[in-house]
């Protein structure tokens, strides 16, 4: 891209002339230090990031255009990670969160999309990972109902479908809304959301994800009501990331710059329709001919809108809210998902907000790295 070619030329001139070029390089001791050709950071930081070796990014589910996935794909394809002297390898996840946490803890993955709730549960089960960022206290889990349900309490005694279990945030929403939980007839459904408007098996409610099933149904001309836990004050997260703790301790600048590159790409991929199409195109090339570009563009637009509508209180984009962590612990205690010894204070220590705070100055993302 033209802006990267210009930056590369400037960096090359800087290496020859040994003079400072604004935005391309700076020494950590305050003295100028030439950027290596092809990078946009100081020679010292570039060397440190290269010393980190291969960094394996593991997605949450394939290369779906979700937040925490598409921006990492784009950062790799746009050359942002290369600009920061990072060797980032992309690996598609299967959707199995437990597997992602185990791969992170073992070091077979370096950084991965893991919800804040799942980070807490993993640590409670002795799986050593560290939460480093989150885009919002809202989440993707939702409940869909047929249009004749105008109050959640109308679900009492009705059939509600799920994909193996009812997400804690959805259960908490229903309980808070006054639904008699034990009266619900819970059934496991497949991945075809059309079973809801067809009222297959008397179905009146179905769990799902805000960016997926409702968009599928809308495209098919099916109308349902979407109920979001965030509207009931239920804690969750979206776009949360976790890292292998040993790697983070050994290479903190590299972790910071992985997040920096992803956040920079997030802004790029969100800035225009043309950029959305471009970024989704990168994911499509990685995924193959069956990749639904139109649906995935809608997924990205939906999820980034959720983030925009529900900014993390008192945090820049990507910042972890310790208050939300505490609320999640309370919800997990409510449904006996984690033991009582997992306190809010203990859980907050399983997150390190310093990596995200390091990429901002005066509330603005610093690009490239200092």
Q: Is the pLDDT of residue 35 over 80?
A: no
Tokens of 79: 């050359």
One DSSP character per residue, 293-316 reads HHHHHHHHHHHHHHHHHSBPTT--
Alpha carbon distance 234, 139 (integer Å): 9
Domain 52-136+237-365 part of CATH 3.40.190.10 = yes
- Residue at token pair 């002297």: 85
Tell me the CATH number for domain 141-232: 3.40.190.10
Q: Average per-residue pLDDT in the chain?
A: 91
Tokens of 53: 């070796």
Average pLDDT over residues 202-217: 96
**pLDDT given at position 21:** 32
**pLDDT given at position 34:** 52
**pLDDT given at position 40:** 79
Alpha carbon distance 335, 337 (integer Å): 5
**Fold: same for 52-136+237-365 and 141-232:** yes
pLDDT: is 15 or 59 the higher one? Answer: 59
| pLDDT bucket at 38, cuts 50 / 70 / 90 | low
**pLDDT given at position 85:** 97
| H and E: helices and strands count for the chain | 15, 14
Decide: helix, strand or coil at residue 329.
helix
**pLDDT given at position 309:** 97
Q: Is the pLDDT of residue 39 over 80?
A: no
* 132 Cβ contact partners less than 8 Å away, ≥ 6 residues apart: 111, 241, 242, 243, 248, 255, 259, 320, 351, 352, 353, 355, 356
Q: Is the pLDDT of residue 2 over 90?
A: no
Q: Is the pLDDT of residue 19 over 80?
A: no
Decide: helix, strand or coil at residue 189.
coil
- Residue at token pair 């836990």: 229
Average pLDDT over residues 24-28: 33
**pLDDT given at position 37:** 58
Query: Would you say 309 and 231 are in contact if contact means Cβ atoms under 8 Å apart?
Result: no
| pLDDT bucket at 33, cuts 50 / 70 / 90 | very low
- For the chain, which residues make up each domain, given as ranges? 1-51, 52-136+237-365, 141-232
């Amino acid at each position: 891209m033209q802006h990267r070619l210009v930056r590369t030329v400037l960096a090359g001139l800087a290496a020859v002339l040994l003079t400072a070029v604004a935005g391309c390089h700076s020494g950590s001791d305050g003295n100028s230090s030439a950027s290596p050709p092809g990078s946009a950071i100081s020679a010292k930081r570039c060397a440190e990031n290269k010393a980190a070796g291969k960094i394996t990014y593991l997605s949450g589910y394939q290369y779906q255009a979700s937040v925490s996935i598409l921006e990492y794909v784009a950062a790799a394809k746009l050359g942002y990670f290369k600009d920061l002297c990072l060797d980032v390898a992309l690996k598609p996840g299967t959707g199995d969160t437990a597997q992602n946490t185990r791969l992170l803890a073992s070091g077979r993955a370096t950084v991965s999309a893991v919800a804040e709730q799942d980070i807490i549960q993993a640590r409670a089960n002795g799986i050593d990972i560290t939460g480093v960022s989150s885009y919002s206290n809202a989440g993707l889990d939702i409940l869909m109902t047929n249009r004749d349900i105008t109050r959640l309490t109308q679900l009492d005694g009705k059939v509600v479908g799920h994909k193996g279990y009812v997400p804690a945030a959805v259960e908490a929403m229903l309980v808070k809304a006054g639904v008699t939980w034990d009266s619900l007839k819970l059934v496991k459904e497949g991945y075809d959301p059309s079973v809801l408007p067809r009222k297959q098996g008397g179905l009146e409610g179905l769990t799902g994800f805000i960016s997926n099933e409702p968009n599928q149904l809308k495209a098919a001309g099916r109308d349902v009501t979407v109920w979001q836990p965030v509207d009931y004050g239920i804690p969750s997260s979206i776009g949360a990331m976790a890292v292998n703790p040993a790697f983070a301790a050994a290479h903190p600048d590299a972790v910071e710059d992985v997040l920096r590159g992803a956040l920079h790409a997030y802004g790029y991929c969100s800035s225009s329709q043309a950029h959305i199409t471009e970024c989704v195109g990168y994911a499509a090339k990685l995924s193959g001919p069956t990749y639904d570009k139109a649906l995935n563009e809608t997924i990205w637009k939906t999820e980034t809108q959720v983030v925009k509508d529900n900014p993390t209180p008192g945090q820049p984009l990507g910042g972890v809210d310790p208050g939300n962590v505490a609320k999640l612990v309370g919800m997990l205690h409510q449904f006996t998902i984690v033991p009582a010894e997992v306190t809010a204070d203990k859980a907050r220590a399983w997150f390190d907000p310093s990596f995200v705070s390091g990429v901002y100055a005066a509330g603005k993302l610093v690009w490239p790295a200092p």
